[in-house]
Copies of this chain bind each other. A is one copy, B any other.
Amino acid sequence: MNKIKLGMVGGGKDAFIGDVHRMAARLDGRYELIAGALSSDANRAAESAAELGVDGKRSYNSYHEMARKEGKLKSGIDAVTIVTPNHLHADVAKEFLKAGIHVICDKPLTSNLQDAEELAKLVKDTGLVFAVTYNYSGYPMVRQAKEMVANGELGNIRVVQLEYAQDWLATNIERDGQKQAAWRTDPKQAGKGGAIGDIGTHAFHLAEFITGLEASSLLADLDAFVPGRTLDDNANILLRYKNGAKGMLWVSQVASGKENGLQIRIYGDKGGLQWAQEDPNYLHISLLGHAKKILTRAGPGTGSLANVATRIPSGHPEGFIEGFANIYRETADLIDAYREKKSITSLIPTVDDGLRGMRFIDKAVASNQAGSIWQSLDH
């Protein structure tokens, strides 16, 4: 199968997340980056393209132009990666979808719920591949957790304990011109959600991904602890799942010492599990009446979902990029299947997962505004 021709919108040099997407795309040799609208600043776009080996002719100053032209080129891009601030996701995605180009979109899906709903509809109308990079679902031991829950090893799930805590926004760095912070704390670019959108959506997705449960309602107490900030930087959220399980979700970007502290713990009537993103090669299992176990990536006792998502032997740690690259590799499988008009199953987060994340944000804000009242997540 030929390599997938990839374009990128956003992600000019020094943009952390652009680099991550590119490394993830390169790792398995399934993509080649050949076009981009890498920055809204023309000079920066050109420089970034040159650095990345993108032909100057395929470096665009606007995503509109890029979508239009690449859609018509005989050897135009097959897929585009969208790594702009949130408020642009919807429009960029629509333009490329309309040009017949598959989309890999960073999260949260959009900056508001209505955009997300429209986009989800468009994706279905086009039938194109659309992946949302809830990348943490790409980690092998997260897949292992999913498989064990599905196999009933934990029994009926009762309790879900979620947290995603960081500390990089513990002070007002957005005022000091830190670009990553600036747009994430700006409602115009980020949308209604601060931390809940930037990282909370990851955790919310992860719990549904692993447990296969659907959350029915939530209740939220949001804060913007850092003076001058308007969007939430800490959120205390209660969750209820449709099977009767109960959850807690702590989201924070002001928790000193927490670097990228995404953690999930799940307890059923037969056993429990624990996984932490910062030590991703381990999965802690505790079955009632048995000694605790630690499963290691590619080690004894792991199943097929984990093993197809792993590249190297146990004890040789895989990290964030490898997990992210699984999203890219499996999206490549979907695109190849599309080309061959085949249907394959996939664990890739879809536009519906993205839409569900937007509803999570919307309802958390609504609950908080109403004084921490339960809000349905069904509609």
Give the distance in Å from the alpha carbon of A265 to the alpha carbon of B254 in the complex. 13
Check if A91 is an interface residue, CB within 8 A of chain B. no
Contact A290 B284 (CB under 8 A): no
Instruction: Please tell me which one of the listed residues B154, B260, B293, B316 contacts residue A313 in the complex, with CB atoms under 8 A apart.
Output: B260
How many Å from the CB of A165 to the closest CB on chain B? 8
Instruction: Please tell me which one of the listed residues B278, B296, B318 contacts residue A319 in the complex, with CB atoms under 8 A apart.
Output: B318
Q: Tell whether A238 pairs with B257 under 8 Å between CB atoms, given A301-B291, A321-B322.
A: no
Contact B268 A256 (CB under 8 A): yes
Contact A300 B293 (CB under 8 A): no
Check if A62 is an interface residue, CB within 8 A of chain B. no
Contact B288 A291 (CB under 8 A): no
Contact B225 A260 (CB under 8 A): no
Check if A126 is an interface residue, CB within 8 A of chain B. no
Q: Which stretch, A16-24, A67-75, A354-362, touches the partner chain B?
A: A16-24
Contact A312 B372 (CB under 8 A): no
The contact size tier of chain A is 35 or more
Check if A82 is an interface residue, CB within 8 A of chain B. no
Contact B270 A256 (CB under 8 A): yes
Contact A170 B288 (CB under 8 A): yes
Instruction: Please tell me which one of the listed residues B171, B238, B286, B317 contacts residue A317 in the complex, with CB atoms under 8 A apart.
Output: B317
Number of copies of this kind of chain in the complex: 4
How many Å from the CB of A367 to the closest CB on chain B? 10
Q: Which stretch, A5-13, A207-215, A244-252, touches the partner chain B?
A: A244-252
Check if A320 is an interface residue, CB within 8 A of chain B. yes
How many Å from the CB of A359 to the closest CB on chain B? 20
Q: Tell whether A260 pairs with B315 under 8 Å between CB atoms, given A27-B23, A158-B254, A234-B159.
A: yes
Q: Tell whether A312 pairs with B256 under 8 Å between CB atoms, given A248-B236, A294-B291, A372-B238.
A: no
**Across the A-B interface, the 8 shortest Cβ-Cβ residue pairs:** A257-B286, A259-B315, A260-B315, A319-B319, A317-B319, A256-B272, A316-B320, A291-B301
